[in-house]
Amino acid sequence: MIGKMTHHPHKDDAAAKLGMWLFLFTELLLFGGLFLLYAVYLKRYPHEFAAAGRQLDWTMGTANTVILLTSSLCAAMAVTALQRGEARRSVALLGGTLLCAVGFMAIKYIEWSTKIGHGIYPGSPHLKGGAPGESVFFSLYFMTTGIHGLHVLIGGVLLAVIAQKVRSGSVTAGNYILLENGALYWHLVDLIWIFIFPLYYLVL
């Protein structure tokens, strides 16, 4: 009877990791579908896509790429710090990740506001009066970066909650799977942007 009631942390951790990887796989399918749609229309409107891509600010895109890479590094270091029992350092590194998330969203807000201010948004009269390929490009741009931005917000809230749990001692060196899974989710957010950046900002 006692044996049946024994808790198996390693089995629980393995199940949690498997669950996270399955969830991440579904997220990859979502963005994979968007990238496939992009490829189909890029083949149909190569010149229009290149012209539309030149209207995006690649310096802001580059800045956001550096910011997300830095945030992923902080998240990975936060996991390592907690595994070593350095809870305070782990919380500080998670704080760095969150600051990067805020910076990313601030730049994206400026980008979107600028484009909308110039009449460039899905269904706008400016795009309706232009080349069909340009309208498709920006529709995909707003859809893809919008969904990605939502993932950044969700990831930021998740890591903030986890940081609080690390601070309170609920997540420790002996029970860090929640932080590890949170970091995995954040790495996915970073990875997806690595694909978005060249597709939209560096399209030729």
Q: Could you write out the DSSP letters of every residue in the chain? A: -TTTT---HHHHHHHHHHHHHHHHHHHHHHHHHHHHHHHHHHHH-HHHHHHHHTTS-HHHHHHHHHHHHHHHHHHHHHHHHHHTT-HHHHHHHHHHHHHHHHHHHHHHHHHHHHHHHTT-STT-HHHHTS-HHHHHHHHHHHHHHHHHHHHHHHHHHHHHHHHHHHHHTSSBTTB-HHHHHHHHHHHHHHHHHHHHHHHHHS--
Is residue 69 assigned to a domain? Answer: yes
Is 22 domain-assigned? no
In a domain, residue 6? The reply is no
pLDDT band at 23 (very low <50, low <70, confident <90, very high): confident
Of residues 53 and 9, more confidence is placed in 53
Residue 153 lies in a domain: yes
Q: Is residue 111 part of a domain?
A: yes
Range of 66's domain?
29-201
Residue 186 lies in a domain: yes
Percent of the chain with pLDDT strictly greater than 70:
94
Task: Please check whether residue 100 lies inside any domain of the structure.
Answer: yes
The chain-wide mean pLDDT, for the chain, equals 92
CATH code of the domain covering residue 131: 1.20.120.80
Q: In the numeric block, which tokens belong to residue 45?
A: 């409107």
The total domain count for the chain is 1
The yes-or-no verdict on residue 18 having pLDDT over 90 is: no
Confidence of residue 4 (pLDDT cuts 50, 70, 90): very low
- The answer to whether residue 16 sits within a structural domain is no
pLDDT of residue 5: 41
pTM value surpassing 0.85: yes
List pLDDT tens digits, range 123-155.
Answer: 899 998 888 999 999 999 999 999 999 999 999
